[in-house]
Structure 1
């Protein structure tokens, strides 16, 4: 009654946008962790570095699955698409 003129999906859309931004940030963090792991000499990768990479991967996969269940679609990254 008090808020009948507001968009009922505005809060959901805001949450979806925040989720997408979080996914992109975690993906960047995961990519950085993978690059760091590969930059270190293969024989000297310790468990902590490997664990951090796996943790970032699991965070990304969890958020990605949550976005898929919500039927979210992100935007295409311009750096990936080159013609």
Structure 2
């Protein structure tokens, strides 16, 4: 009875975490592509790429700590 609501909330936030991880991965990929496409890379572009990478890694580590598993394969797996 009491654990049911807690479980629903956990599942809801796990889903949001997985969605955030997917979005962070897309942002990191976009930042890498931008950095590679620009011939004159300045510190701001490099910093944005590093920030996007760190955000993705933070969310990924949080998912591992919470033992969250997604039900789909990330699209970036097929890109390489």
| Bin for the TM-score computed over the shorter chain | 0.7 to 0.9
Question: Which structure features the higher share of helix residues?
Answer: 2
Q: Does 1:55 align with 2:58?
A: no
Q: 2: distance between equivalents of 1:76 and 1:52? A: 26
Q: 1:70 to 1:28 in 2, by over 3 A?
A: same
Q: Taking structure 1 as the reference length, what is the TM-score of the superposition?
A: 0.82
Q: What is the match of residue 26 of structure 1?
A: 24
Gaps of 5+ in 2: none
Q: CA RMSD in A?
A: 2.1
Task: Tell me the matched-pair count.
Answer: 77
